[in-house]
Amino acid sequence: VLSGCGVYDGTEIHEASAILVHLSRGGAEVQMYAPDVPQMHVIDHSKGQPAEAESRNVLVESARIARGKIASLAKLTTADHDAVIFPGGFGAAKNLSTFAVDGKDCKVNREVERVLKDFHKAGKPIGLCCISPVLAAKVLSGAEVTVGHEEEEGGKWPYAGTAGAIKELGGKHCVKEVTISFPVNFHVERQVSTHVDTKNKVVTTPAFMCEAELHNIFDGIGAMVKNVLKLTGK
């Protein structure tokens, strides 16, 4: 489920691409969706500032990432799919919800809320990365999610305050790294962190919530996708 095209006003493109690569590698068939609604606003990504008097449609912009193969979120039915995954990017907090403006008092897009509740009710896994776990925290009471750390740590985790908001939304936040290393038999092995809420079948990973290397973010997303696919039982 996409939320536009571009980190500051839509889907984080690297995250969406990573998800698609890992799904392809896992042998999954993919259908992309986005709500057919106007964006909250348009950001000039070269300046990081709103583009005045410009408007765009979330579905139309998301089609850029989907290479045109996309449908309105209103057409997504649980019966036709084994799992659903939400990339991050500010679009999740601006277009799929009002979290960017309203924080803990945010509202979630009606179709997004329907999809999350339907998949949860059906016992089908839900994957979310970066900022998008706030959607699950808002809609699925008591869901366990991660957005990484709860302190900024000198700018390494610039959006750490989101963890507190997740708790205020009624969710449980679990501190996780993007990638951690530890010695095993004198060799350094890498373990990518993700959180799996087995009760609710919600899988989350921090991704760009951390100022980390792109390959570490890619690996973290891969762990999330792998766990989502595992939870489908297929």
| Cα within 13 Å of Cα(154), Cβ side | 0
- C-alpha 183/C-alpha 85 separation (Å) is 32
Query: What's the whole-number mean pLDDT along residues 165-179?
Result: 93
Q: Is 129 annotated in the active site?
A: no
Query: What's the whole-number mean pLDDT along residues 8-16?
Result: 98
- 39 has pLDDT over 60: yes
pLDDT, tens digit, 9 for 90 and up, residues 63-80: 999 999 999 999 999 999
CATH topology for the 13-232 domain: Rossmann fold (3.40.50)
- The conformation of residue 104, written as its DSSP 8-state character, comes to G
Query: What's the whole-number mean pLDDT along residues 208-223?
Result: 94
pTM: 0.94
- C-alpha 125/C-alpha 203 separation (Å) is 7
Instruction: Name the catalytic one among 5, 129, 130, 174.
Output: 130
Distances in Å between the Cα of 116 and the Cα atoms of 8, 98, 185 are 23, 16, 43
pLDDT value of residue 180: 59
Q: How many CB atoms lie within 10 A of CB 82?
A: 17
The full set of domain ranges for the chain reads: 13-232
